[in-house]
Amino acid sequence: MKDDIARKEQNIQTLEKEKDQLSIELLAKNEVINQQKEKIDEQAANEYKIKNLTTKLKQADKNSSVLEEELENVQKTKLYKKNEALKKYIANLTNEKEEMEKALEVQSNKIDEINQSLSASKAGT
């Protein structure tokens, strides 16, 4: 009986350590997601600047309009591809975060079950 209680208490400690580790990993994932969102915002600001600069350049030199349009398209394509890749990365991180949250909930439920079992065992002794 005492061995069973000690084993359950050890299981609780192990699960709590795993829960703490999952919480730490979840915080790290959230930080990465926030950093990636900042990069997307920064890229959007850069796209806006590029658009404004391109417009001013067209007004200053109409003779080079064909080259400027090609440059603008290349820049937009590169930024679009980068932005899409970052969005996919954030989506993957968000999925991982949700999986970790589910795992954390499962661990919490296991701890609650063991605590209830332990309380029942202690009450029975």
Provide the greatest CA pair distance for the chain.
93
Contact (Cβ atoms closer than 8 angstroms) between residue 82 and residue 43: yes
**pLDDT per position as a tens digit, 26-59:** 999 999 999 999 999 999 999 999 899 888 876 7
pLDDT of amino acid 61: 73
pTM given for the model: 0.42
Residue 18 carries which side chain, given as an amino acid letter? Answer: E
The average pLDDT across 96-124 equals 89
Contact (Cβ atoms closer than 8 angstroms) between residue 96 and residue 26: no
